[in-house]
Amino acid sequence: MIPAILNLVLINILPFLVYVNIDIARLKNIERNREIIYFLLLIIPVFLLFYLVKIKLLILVTIFVTIAWIAVAEYYFVQIDKVTIAVSKSVDSLTEEVKILQQLHGEVSLQNNNVSTELIKYTNIFSLVQEINQNIGIHKIGYEFYIKVSSYFPDKIKYIGLLVVKKKDIVEVIPFSPTGIFDEAKIRSLWLSEKKNTEVTNKILEYKIYENQYQYILIIFHEFTREEISNFEFFIEETKIGFVRSILFKEVDELSRTDGLTGLYLRRYFLARLNEEIVRAVRYSQRFSLIMFDIDFFKKINDTYGHIVGDFVLKEVAGIIKTTVGDQGLCSRWGGEEFLVFVPYQSKEQVYTLAENIRKSIEQCEMNYEGHNIKITISGGISSYPDDAKEIEKLIELADQRLYKSKQAGRNLVTI
């Protein structure tokens, strides 16, 4: 009886206890080595029964029960394999989905960054356009432009300014950014040398903003990449109309200050400038002189040739005066055929030499208008601050009186 009970325990209870108490890791080992376990589970009971049990029929029962356990175990292992495969596929699928989601997240983040960058750009543009619409002064607009683009491109812009160019000569440099090392002389030098120096050219951007009598060229010294240049050009295109408007206002202002015939400053504006200059001269203990010119026998020219020729003569005389004076001073049409020249810093002798050069140039000039050869002369008078007077009105009066003395002395003279 005892061997039969022992056999029952071995082939029924023991496998159950083994399966119940085994963990997954060990189960994997059993699964890999189950052929050996099946063999032992079948051989041991059969061997025991063969020697201990008299009724050999029990051996068949034992074999049948053992095979049944093996079938159950195999079914269990097959189900485990199915579940394992299903779980593995699910894990693979989820892993792939995670990768796709990570890729989409990266793309969305990139798009979000691009949108944020574009939003900042358009916000700056909108703010800049508002500033431009509220101002007409070219200096104010240029400064606001510099502030906005510098905040959008930090440490990339070294200098921004506007060049006023006639033919190949720079008439004026209007800085928009702090000049720093880029003073006007260096700007002129770099701009003129850019066609010869590739390294310099790569660091300079030029944009023609407007052109009529002069070219207005926006010039930028920079450290941009190619992509940044494209973005910077967007700023220029969106604000160009504001620059053009301010340039037109500037030109209208210039026209209100200059004589339409001669291009010299008008009397009203010139007098205001002289009052500013005398304040500066007082503050810094500087000297200056005034030269008053008048065309000799101008009425005779009008009476002989007509007012059209008279205008031609005025224009020619103004051109000679302006060219001879150059950067040494300022010139104005004082009234009729009279001209007033302001010359700072120079001594009386130097101013007299300048006045004589003007007088001689006009005396030697042969003007020709539609076959009429016209020779003219001018007379002049000079007054100086502070030697002759310390008020503008008195200085102008003295220059006019000395001009009159030149007329009385025979004309074609300069009196000091």
Contact 161, 176 (CB under 8 A): yes
What is residue 9's DSSP assignment? I
H or E element at residue 279: helix 267-284
Contact 329, 342 (CB under 8 A): yes
Active site residue 356: no
Coil, strand, or helix at residue 332? strand
Q: How far apart are CA 272 and CA 265, in angstroms?
A: 11
CA–CA–CA angle 403, 409, 414 (5° rounding): 40
Reported as half-sphere exposure (CB side, CA atoms, 13 A), residue 158 has a value of 14
Query: What's the Cα-to-Cα distance from 141 to each of 4, 210, 223, 248, 401, rounded to whole Å?
Result: 110, 15, 23, 13, 46
Give 337-363 as a DSSP string. Answer: TEEEEEEES--HHHHHHHHHHHHHHHH
Q: How far apart are CA 395 and CA 385, in angstroms?
A: 7
Q: How far apart are CA 241 and CA 25, in angstroms?
A: 78
Q: How far apart are CA 330 and CA 171, in angstroms?
A: 15
Catalytic residue, chosen from 337, 363, 391, 397, is: 337
Based on the number of CB atoms within 10 Å of its own CB, is 152 exposed (0-12), middle (13-18) or buried (19 or more)?
A: buried
CA–CA–CA angle 70, 76, 80 (5° rounding): 140
Q: How far apart are CA 118 and CA 105, in angstroms?
A: 20
Active-site residue numbers? 337
